[in-house]
Amino acid sequence: MTWKQHIPNTLTAFNLIAGLIAITLIMEGELAMASLFIFIAALFDFLDGTAARILDARSELGKQLDSLADLVSFGVAPGLIMFQLLSKGCEGSCNILEQHHITPWFALLIPVCAAFRLAKFNIDLTQEEHFIGMPVPATAIFFASIPLILFYQSAQFSLVPLDFFTDFFSNSRVLAVLTVLFSYLMVSDFHLFAMKFKKMGWKGNEMRYIFLILAASYLLLFSLCAIPLIILTYFVLSLFFQKRIANSD
């Protein structure tokens, strides 16, 4: 292994460490802080891939290490967050699934489907230009944003009222449906575009520029609540351009 390959692998290790810290914080009931460390893990995940490309330091070891780190940071950690949130929804509920504490176990679908998604990505050489199934980090960011929205709801500055978002993500049944939905999307055959610009012109990059414009608008209007909207917009845009993405090989 060359010295160049140690750089992206070290960044991947920081991704894993951030995920482990997130899990420790979840066990202590610090969901908002745990979510922040999932975002930190996502930053290191972006940096390790970028470093590998710039340094031309890709390796099979780095590829496998990256997937193992991603499973912890973006599979196990968000799964545990959703388990905790769904468990809180069971308190005083009249729903039979919640009364018997069954609903929280839906959260196990997140790490299980993340493991399948990462394994498929490692053996599928066609996913250079686009993804098949919702990327695991995108799913993790979606779920990690929920505690931040609920915890920092009073501190958020936005141009529109945010009561709808806090009420929406406080509903345990909504969270259960989202858990099952995103778990399915990770292992689905939907084609989703990658944010890779081969050239900076509009032609061929329409969906990427539309996505960036919408994402910036959401952040301005909705503050932290923009994060799940951005992930959902990414999926909806991919559906709209499904045929073009599928033929991009």
Strand partners, 132: 191
Q: How far apart are CA 209 and CA 206, in angstroms?
A: 5
Mean pLDDT rounded to a whole number for the chain: 86
Is 95's pLDDT higher than 80?
no
**Which comes out higher in pLDDT, residue 224 or 75?**
75
What pLDDT shows up at residue 72? 97
Task: Give the number of other CB atoms < 10 A from CB of residue 82.
Answer: 26
Q: How far apart are CA 149 and CA 247, in angstroms?
A: 37
3-state secondary structure the chain: CCHHHHHHHHHHHHHHHHHHHHHHHHHCCCHHHHHHHHHHHHHHHHHHHHHHHHCCCCCHHHHHHHHHHHHHHHHHHHHHHHHHHHHHHCCCCCCHHHHCCCHHHHHHHHHHHHHHHHHHHHHCCCCCCEEECCCHHHHHHHHHHHHHHHHCCCCCCCCCCCHHHHHHHHCHHHHHHHHHHHHHHHHCCCEEECCCCCCCCCCCCHHHHHHHHHHHHHHHHHHHHHHHHHHHHHHHHHHHCHHHHHCCC
pLDDT confidence band for 89 (50 / 70 / 90):
confident
Q: Please state the rounded mean pLDDT for residues 24-30.
A: 95
What pLDDT shows up at residue 40? 97
Q: Please state the rounded mean pLDDT for residues 115-128.
A: 84
Is 107's pLDDT higher than 70?
yes
Q: What percent of the chain stands above pLDDT 70?
A: 84
Q: Average the pLDDT over each of 7-21, 130-144, 151-165, 199-213 and give the range with the smallest value.
A: 151-165
Phi, psi of 174 (to 5 degrees): -60, -45
**Which comes out higher in pLDDT, residue 127 or 122?**
122
| Upper half-sphere CA count for residue 206 (Cβ side, 13 Å) | 8
Query: Per residue in 57-72, pLDDT tens?
Result: 778 888 899 999 999 9
Question: Domains in the chain and their CATH numbers?
Answer: 3-192 (1.20.120)
Q: Please state the rounded mean pLDDT for residues 130-144.
A: 93
Q: What percent of the chain stands above pLDDT 90?
A: 50
Is 155's pLDDT higher than 60?
no
Phi, psi of 200 (to 5 degrees): -95, 0
Structure tokens at 102: 């069954």
